[in-house]
Amino acid sequence: MIEFNSIQYQKVTWSLALGSFLVFCNLYVFQPILPQMANHFSVSETQINWLFAISTLALSVFLVPWAITSETLGRRTVILIGLWAMPIIGTVMLVSDELWTLILLRGLMGIALAAFAAVAVAYMVEELSQKAFMQAIGGYIAANSLGGITGRVLGGVISDFYSWQTAVAVIAVLTFAGCIFVTLLLPKQRHFVPTSGLFFHHNRALIHHLNNPIVWCAMLIGGVNFALFVNLYSVMGFRLVSQPHYLPVSLSALIFLCYLAGTVSSKFSGTWNKHYSPIAGMITGITISFLGMLISAIESIPAMIFGLLLISAGAFFAHTLAYAWVSQKVTHAKATATALYLVHYYVGGSLGGFFLLYCWQLGRWPYVVYGASLLYALLYFLCWKLNRYQSHQRCAVQAKMI
């Protein structure tokens, strides 16, 4: 196994962090310009949300198929297929300004993104020692947030000063350069033996993971947490360009710099896991995020920014702990398990957008707070259930030892 701080560890972590950065740049480049695109195509907030939601929905649908494919082709091969498809699809997007074709191509982009997202963590689990993995996962998710920040800020600023096509072109060029780097740096796997003819075996693995309440509950936490986090930002974008603020898209896109709080908090998850309960950490992260949502209700841009900082810090902290929990609690078909977590994660992100944007259309930010509060209540309930399941399992293990 690859040990912490070795040369191979540096190659794995840097290449996968860069890949993760590129994935999230491409995933989120359209999010800050949804208000601009809604005006351009003369459609409602929930209708234009398809431009963003279709990519996360397609990503979630194809995570498990890619994970199953990686059991035969290998993790590294699937990672590279997904990465190289991204700049190709981005280039094709430049030839059309029809909304339906953009939505279709964004769906194809989601399929490509799913290839990397489905197996990157499984690659780390299989190749890195436990200590190295616990350090690497925080950096990997920190790269998620940095990619999300960069994609959104570049998308918003470049689109405002030039066009959305220019923003997509810039991201495509960056992605192409990054693909070369990852291809050259990412080591071949040494602790994974590809298998074939196990389609039904992987289906059974999916059913097994879903029947494991300790794993499935953490997946649900990840989905609801992401539904809140990413879509509170989407609604905030509409809020800032509307009365009484009327900010240009280039300025409203800068709110995504608040993701840096998530970059920092996700790095602390490994340290938390060494000393405290992961479930307590999830509750802590959810609470910080909830407080941020309440503070952001104040009709003041500084209060909104502070609230978004807390939302980012808390949501990423909870997500990192839940993601690592699933990876560690399963004993087989790890790629399938981590992909299944991300299915819940991105389905939550897709559906949460339509829910919170509908709340926005009904009653602006006060209704968003009401709707989001229901989802936070569900998160606390899921954490309580997860703790119950964990306690029951611990008691069962102790009873067998007596």
What average pLDDT values come out for the chain (402 residues) when binned by 10 residues?
87 94 94 89 88 91 86 90 96 89 95 92 87 84 85 92 92 96 91 64 70 86 94 92 89 90 81 83 95 94 95 93 83 74 88 92 93 96 90 66 58
- Domain ranges, ordered by start, for the chain: 7-186+196-401
**CA pair distance 398, 402, nearest whole angstrom:** 7
What single string gives the DSSP state of each residue in 140-170? HHHHHHHHHHHHHHHHHHHHHHS-HHHHHHH
DSSP state of 4: T
Query: Residue 335: what pLDDT?
Result: 67
Residue 179: the pLDDT is: 96
- Non-local CB neighbours of 139 within 8 Å, separated by 6+ positions: 13, 17, 267
pLDDT number for residue 310: 96
pLDDT of residue 103: 94
Question: Can you give the pLDDT at residue 240?
Answer: 93
pLDDT at 90: 95
Classify residue 332 by its DSSP letter. Answer: S
Question: Looking at residue 211, what is its pLDDT?
Answer: 74
Tally the C-alpha atoms within 13 A of residue 114's C-alpha that lie toward its C-beta: 31
Per the listing, tokens 């992401």 go with: 226
CATH fit for domain 7-186+196-401, picks 1.20.1250.20, 3.40.50.720, 1.10.40.30, 2.102.10.10: 1.20.1250.20
Quick one: pLDDT at residue 306? Answer: 96
pLDDT at residue 73, as a whole number: 87
Compute the distance between CA of residue 92 and CA of residue 24 in angstroms, rounded to an integer. 19
Give me the pLDDT at residue 200, please.
Answer: 59
